[in-house]
Amino acid sequence: MEKSIFDAIKGVVLTSVTALVMAFNPLNASGDSAEIAAKDKISVQKGQISPWQEFHSVVGKCTMKFPKYPDHLSEKMRLPEEGFDLKYDAYISAMDQKTVFLLLIAQYPDFVDETYARMSLEGFLNGILTHNPNNQLIFADLSLVGGHEALDFFIRTGSVYFKGRALMVKNSLYLMAMECEVQNYDEVHYNTFVESFQLSQ
Considering the chain, what percentage of its residues have pLDDT values greater than 90? 34
Q: Is 80 exceeded by the pLDDT of residue 44?
A: no
What torsion, rounded to 10 degrees, do the Cα atoms 86, 195, 138, 169 define? -30
CA-CA distance, 104 to 74, in Å (whole number)?
Answer: 10
**Chain centre to alpha carbon of residue 136:** 19
Q: What is the DSSP string of 88-126?
A: EEEEEEEEETTEEEEEEEEE--TTS-GGGHHHHHHHHHH
Query: Which tens digit of pLDDT belongs to each residue from 82-140?
Result: 666 778 888 999 888 889 999 999 887 777 766 777 777 887 888 888 878 888 999 99
Average pLDDT score over the chain: 74
> What's the angle, vertex CA 6, arms to CA 140 and CA 187, rounded to 5?
50
> 199: closest CA among 77, 84, 105, 96?
105
CATH no. of 5-199: 3.40.1000.10
Q: What are the backbone angles phi and psi of residue 199, rounded to the nearest 5°?
A: -80, 140
pLDDT of residue 43: 39
pLDDT band at 50 (very low <50, low <70, confident <90, very high): low
pLDDT band at 142 (very low <50, low <70, confident <90, very high): very high
How crowded is residue 120: how many other Cβ atoms within 10 Å of its Cβ? Answer: 28
Q: Is 80 exceeded by the pLDDT of residue 66?
A: yes
pLDDT of residue 37: 36
> Quick one: average pLDDT of 16-38?
31
